[in-house]
Every structure is written in C-alpha cells, then in structure tokens.
Structure 1
Amino acid sequence: LMDMVHPEDAESHRQSIADSVQTLTPWQWEGRIVTPSGMIKWIHGEACIEKLADGTLMWDGLLLDISDRKQAELALQQKSQDLEQALQDLQQAQLQIIQSEKMSALGNLVAGVAHEMNNPLGFIVASLQQAKPTFVELLEHLKLYQESLTNPTEEIQIHAEKIDLEYTLADLPKMLDSMSVACDRLKNISTSLRTFSRADRDDKVPFNLHEGIDSTILILQHRLKANEQRPAIEVLKNYGNLPEIKCFPGQLNQVFMNIIANAIDAVEQSNIGRTFAEIQASTNQISIQTSLVNKLVEIRIADNGKGMTEAVKAKIFDHLFTTKAVGKGTGLGLAIARQIVVEKHQGSIEVESKPGQGAEFCIRLPISS
C-alpha cells in the first residue's frame, strides 16, 4: 500500500501510521491510492495493532474501496459551494438593485426640488437686478424734488415723519442687498442638490469629493438642527488639499449619506436618558477629515456616540445586519457602502470603535482606477 499512496496524501498516510505505532491505538486513514493500471481510487483503511513478546507489531485490518462514496461527497460539496456562490451572487444583485432604486428615487426627488427652486429663484434674481438701478434712479429723482422744494408743506413733512423717510431711504438698499445674499444662498443650495443627485455614467468621471460631502450634509441639515430634546449636532470639517478623483459621484454620495446618517443616529441614541443640559455640556459632534495618504484619498467620518462592541463591529458590513429596532433599519446601508467602495472603486472601508467612545469610519480611495 505504501508504494501506491497518492503523493498528495502520502504525508497524512505516514503520520497516521506513526501516530498509531507510537500510541498502539487502532489505525484509521482515508486517502487516495494509484493502482498499477494508473487509476486513482479512494480507500478507507482500519487496523488494530498488537505488540508481540519479541517486539514485533502485528496489524489486523482491512481496506475498503470508497471511491463511489467519495465522488458523491465531492459532488455534494461542489453543489453546496455552487449554491453558496449563487446565494452570494443573489445578495450582491439585490444590493445593486436596491442601491440603484434608492439613488434613482432620491436623485429624482432632489433634482426635481432643485429644478422647481430654479424657476422662481431666477425670476427673483432678475427682478432684483432690475429693481436696484430703478431704486437708485427714483432716489436721485426724490433728492431733486427735496432740493427744489425748499419749503415743503406741513402735510409732506408729517408724512415724511410718519414713514420715517430718512431711515427708509437708508435701509431699502440694505434690504435689496440682503435679498441678493439670500438668492445667492438659494443658488448654492440648488447647486448642492444637483451635485448630490447627479446621475452616474457608465464610466468614472473626475469629481470633487468635498462637494459631494457638503451636498450630503445639506440634505441631512434638517436632522442636524437643534430641537426640543437636544442642541444642534455640530459638524466639524477638516478638509485637506485633495485632487479630483475618477469615480462614480452618485454612488459615493450614497456612501457619505449612509455613514453620516448612521452617525446622526448614533449620537441621538447616546442622548437617551440624558437631559438637555447634560447634552449641551457634552455636545453631539460629527467630524469629517480628508487627506491624501500614500497616493490614496482618505476620508474619516467620526461621531461621539455610544460606539459599538467587537461583536457588532465584526458584522457591521454584513448583508441584512442591523442594530436598530424593527422598522428602523434594513441592514443594507453599510453593506451597500462597502460594495460601492470596495467593488466599484477598488478602495477600502474600515471602522474603529469601542463602547462609549464613538465610532470612526475610514474610507480610502485611489485617485484614479
């Protein structure tokens, strides 16, 4: 038998014999042999070992041909692997469909809002542009009247005092300027909304990550504002000097959305059982830091929430895993985020966290790929 053992199983065969001889325990072994005709067969061997008075070892056992059973086991194992792969493929397809539908629905909504804002905003901007020189002309004309009318009637004087003419003439230009500033703010919001909702093409395009992060923060602004239960959540930004990277902007915006929204959830959960004053003394914070490290763009998003245990951290990117209550989370957000970063952009995403010390997600992306 020793001469026929398959080379790949020779070591396990030798070790099984050595163990049995050393301990004088029954020998068992399964492996392949190569018959003189060249056929490979699986065999199962068993033997009892008895040590005779003269020190000779006597073996009493049998060999069984288990090739058919092994082939069936291997076929079953292969089928199990195929089913496992099919399940993984199905889960990935589900993630892609959900990701596509979520971004399509959210993108259409945000783009629609931005479009509806642009129409009245354009009208207001155009009207202000016409109103400001018109007001200047009226003001000059009024001054001419005041210079010519050296002795105004009592009625004019009373009306001027009633409307506080001097203050109104000084304040109206400031009002127009404030309206122009507000219009600029709305234009920036509209631009941010379009940045967030931009549709991805088949190929990667250059993108300013800071614009994507800022547009995401804008979308989530309503959740960051102060309310009756807590002060506003502070967002601390420390942006480095990053180049544009080639990527799918819409998908990366979704990654930022999932992580920052989860950070908001984390700090809000840490507020449970605390008073407004206690929360105010230890402000809820989310920090976002970007830098260029070893030719990789690094984005760190951290919160000072409850943090997570090692068990939770190990599963945080798993499909359908969530720590939120039923109906509050799907367990898909971070799984989708990981797929976008790792599979779509050949990057990496990691999390560092300890209970009571918050959590920090670190995303690393190649500048071009």
Structure 2
Amino acid sequence: MAALPLVGIRILSLAEQYPGPFATMLLADLGADVILVERPDGGDPSRRFAGLFTSLNRNKRSVALDLKSEAGRAQFLELVDSADVVIEGYRPGVMARLKLDADLLRARKPGLIYMSISSFGQTGPMAAVAGHDLSIQASAGMIKVPLGQEANANLPVLPLADISSAMFAALGVVTALFGRTRSGHGSQIDVSMFDSLVCWMTPFLVPAMNALEVRPLPPEDPGYGLFATADGRQITLSIAGEDHMWRALCDLLGLKQYSALTEQQRNHRAREIDPYLRAAIASCHFDWLCQHLETERIAFGPVCDVDQVVEDAQVKARNMVVEFDGKSKRERFIRQPLIFDGNIGTIRHSAPDLGEHGPAIFEALSAEELPDNVR
C-alpha cells in the first residue's frame, strides 16, 4: 500500500469543538501527525459529549499543556520547532495575549503554516463577536423564518458553518503546504466561519448583487420533494428540470395527462399537480417504487435513519464504514471520502485520552534532530 499523501507532516491543533477537529480529522486520516494541544483542566470542551469527540478525533495524539504558564509555553514552543502547521481556534487576540501569535511563531520558524479559525475572522467590526453555528447561518442569510413563527422554526441540525469552515481550513493547509514547496516559506491563514458560509451562498448572493434571476433552490419542479408510500415509508424524488425523467415518472404512475409538460409548464402548475402526484405515490409500496424508479433511471432516494445509512449497500460497497480494534472494544468510524490510487486511508487509533501521548511525544522530541523544514 502506498504511503498516505500527508505522512511526515506534523500539525499542532489548539482548535476545539467542531471546525478545527473536523479539519484535522481529514488531515490525520490522510497521514498527518495531528497533536491536540489541550488545556489540562478538562481538555477540549467537546469531550463532555463522548460521541462528538470520538467522531472527530481519531488518528490524533494528545498533550495537555497550560499555555498560561511559562513551563507550558516553553513546551509548546518545543513542539512548534518540530511542526509544519499550527491551527488555533480562539477569539482574535487570545494567542497574542499568550505570546504565541503568528508573528512570533513565524519569526521563530519561517516555514511554519499558521492558521486561525474564528467565527467572523481576524478583522472587521464583528471580529470580536462570539458566534456559534446557528447565529452564523442566520447572519449569512441561510435561515428564513416568517415573523411570528420563530418558536416553531425548524432549526438546522447539521452545523454548516462549522463544516464549511473545516473544509476550507483543510484546503488551506494543503494549499499552503504545496506553496511552501515552491517558496520555502510558510503562510498565515485566516479562516472565518462566516466567510465560509457567505462563499457557499454564492448562487444566491451573486444574482442578487447583479440583478440576475436566481435559480430557485429547492427547485420548484413538482417532481422534487419528499413523498409517503403505501406502506408508511418515505422516498425523495429529485427531478430538477429533467423533462425526460418527468415523462418517465408520469408514465410509471399513470399520470399521462401531465407527462408532456415542460419544466416551465409544470412549475407553473405545481400546486395543481402536487396532490395527484402524492396520491399516486401513496398507492405504491416502497420496494416496488424504488425498483421501478431505478429501472427507469429517475432521480430518487429512500429516506433513511442513521441505522439504515451505516447498513446501506452502497455505503458498504464504498467501504465508508471502517472497523478496527479500539482500546477496549471493536470500534466503527466513517472514513474520509478521498480515495488516492485506490487507497482509502486507515484508522490507526481511536480518539486519544486527555494528555495520553505527552510523555512519549516529548521524549521523542528530546532525542530527535529537527527536520529540514525547520528554519
């Protein structure tokens, strides 16, 4: 098996909760040596949710350092001398107060890549504002609830601000590492959760700024939605303008009076069509419907709960669930999705206990010579 692409890269992570851990999980799965630098009094606050911490911190090591103490700061600087990347997730100004900011660390080691992940970025009028995912999604225009319905709003389940900034952070790290191979110098990277979502809102914001028509999302096509079947299950149809799929669906369900409608025509008549389409699907059993939708190549998907997802045939075929022997039991994880030359990566070990690897890491540091990229 070929070596994973990030083997030999060491990343120090002071970024807690979700964005930093998700980003470094991706990097660790691709071979990077990720060392969590955690506070001694409890570590990463997400440790109080064992499922969350375990999900995001496999393949990493942990040291516990009090960065407010001279001894802890000295040990951290010793780690920096061996590292390629430092990622921090504090509010702007915290690292400067600890005397561990980008200017100081990069002066010590010009090849260092220093990344900051924050709610609203290192600059601007909201830089110092605290914000978790819900507030940032709302600020980025992603949550729209009519006035008076706030109490009944369906709050987002997936923390998109966290995940989007994590993806940009991982991209930023590998881009900076590639850039360093050309210039010999590191980088300072500013990742904002808010900026990340504003970027993701491009299909809405750019048309609005340029007086262009916005493509409705979700599409207005009546063949795009969630539907109940005769046996109490649910499926989704995701026809988004494909007239040939719509014709095939109408032929399958006996709705020939609507089969010749174009996207524009059926969008205009969506309210009329919807009850007939729902009634036709409600008369079909789930398995029969899935079989025939697949045969007719109509875009669809079953509605699954988490137990069904991990047992799904496609998930298994793609080896998305990885099992290995953990510290006390057999553990299962969802792998990162990148495949390099057929190599999906490996789960080397489970999430670390707080400070578990401190003695071994510092013992190794005292015995090893600094790598060539330390300048």
The TM-score with structure 1 as length reference comes to 0.19
Q: Choose between structure 1 and 2 for higher RCO, CA contacts under 8 A separated by at least 6 residues.
A: 2
Which one has a larger percent strand, Structure 1 or Structure 2?
Answer: 1
Larger Rg: 1
The TM-score with structure 2 as length reference comes to 0.19
